[in-house]
Amino acid sequence: MEIVWQTPANPPERQDYIFRGGRRYVRPYYFEFISHVKNRWAGKNIVDLFAEEFKGRPYDYYVGAVKSGRIQVDGQMVHPMYVVQSSQKISHFLHRHEPPVLAGDVLVLQNEADVLTVYKPASVPVHPCGQYRKNTVVGILQAENGLAPLFPVHRLDRLVSGLLILAKNAEKAESFRQQIEAGLLQKEYIAKVVGVFPEEEQVVDANVNYNAREGRSSVEVCNHIGEVPIGKTACTKFQRISTNGTHSIVLCKPITGRTHQIRVHLQYAGHPIANDMLYLSESVSPRSAKGTGADRAASVMHQPSLLGPSENSHCDENNGHSSEDFDIDPMCTNCPNLAPIGYDGDEEGLWLHCVRYAGPGWSYECPYPDWAFVT
C-alpha cells in the first residue's frame, strides 16, 4: 500500500469528508506528529518513552512503529532500544482519525473584501487544535469554498454555535485585535436556560476561575475581608427574551471574556443552560458524566501532540465501523473504525449561540437557531 504523508501544508479538500448518521467525518489520512524531547524524557529508550507517556496504544504497537520507521528521531530510523537525548526531534507518523462533528453546514453570511462572517455549527472547532485539523471551520471553508487564508477574529467554544468573524488578511486581523484589546467590542449571545428567568435585567459580577485539569470553571465570591480571589474578574448582563414556564431564552452580554464565563455565570444565577451537562449540577463529574463528550474531547487538546487520537474508552457502533470509505491500515489502532476510539457519539451542541458582534462603525449579526423559540 502506497502511503502519502501529509503535513499542515496540505490543504483540506472536499473529498476528505464523509457524511454519515448526521455527522461529518474526515477520511483518515497519514500525518506526521512532531515533538521535541523534554528534559524528563532524556535517557529513556524510545519505546519505553512512548509506552510510559502515551498509554493510548499497546507496547507492541510502539515496538512495531519504531522498527517500521513510523517513529523516527531527527528524521532517522532507530532501533527500539535507542536512548533519546534532550531536544531531539521525534516524529510519529500515524494513520490519523479525526473525531466527527455534527454535519451542519458552515454558512457564509457576509463575504466582504477584508472580512468574512459565517454561521458556525455547534461541535465544530474554529481552527486546527488537538485532534482536529480538517474538521474545523477554517478547514471546511477552505475545502468547500476555497477561502484561505482566514484569520479568526474571536473564538467560539467548540460546542457553541453562531456568528464567527474571520479577517481575510493579517492587517485586518490586527485592526480587530486592537479594538478587542481596547475593550471596544460588544458581544451578544442567546441561551436556553432552565426555569423562568427573571424579567428584569440581571447582572452577574463574579470572578471566574478556570481549572484546566477538570476542564471547567467556577465562580469565586469573597466573603471575608482581606480575602484575595484567585479567579479573573468577570461580568455578564442577562435579559430574558421569552419563557414557556419550563425554559427561558436569555440574551447574554459578556462584558469580559473568560473561559466558560456565560455558562458558569448562568449556573451561578440559578438558571444553567438546559443541556449543559457540565454546569447543570455542582457535582457533575466533567470526565465521566454521560453527554459531556465534547468537554472531555477538549481536554485532549492539552495532551502531548505525539499521541494523536484519544484512545481512552471503549469502541461502539457510533464510531462509524466501515472500511468501505477508506483504506484500512494494518498497524492503526483505530481502524477499521472511522472515528477514533474514545469518541462519545452521544454529544450534542450546546444551547448557547452567538448572535451579534459590534465595534466602532461596524456590526455583524447571525440568525437564531431553531431551539431559540420556546412555546
CA proximity to 146, closest of 123, 168, 120, 173: 168
Q: Which residue has the cell 468501505?
A: 324
* Catalytic-residue membership of 157: yes
Burial (CB count <10 Å: 0-12, 13-18, 19+), residue 172: middle
Q: 306: which DSSP letter?
A: T
Q: Are the C-beta atoms of 26 and 16 separated by less than 8 Å? A: yes
Show the cell assigned to 257: 471574556
Length of the chain, please? 375
Query: What is d(CA 64, CA 203) in angstroms, rounded to the nearest whole number?
Result: 58
Report DSSP letters for 32-94, one per residue: EEEEE--TTTTTSBHHHHHHHH-TTS-HHHHHHHHHHTSEEETTB---TTPBP-TT-EEEEEE
Contacts of 285 (CB under 8 A, 6+ apart): none
Show the cell assigned to 227: 480575602
First vs last C-alpha separation in the chain: 57
* Active-site hit among 16, 157, 276, 344: 157
Report DSSP letters for 147-199, one per residue: --S-EESS---TT-EEEEEEESSHHHHHHHHHHHHTT--EEEEEEEEES---S
Show the cell assigned to 121: 455549527
Following CA atoms 154, 354, 185, 203 in sequence, which dihedral angle do they give, to the nearest 10 degrees? Answer: -130
Rounded (5°) CA angle 177-132-88: 90
CA proximity to 349, closest of 155, 121, 125, 117: 121
Residues identified as active-site? 157
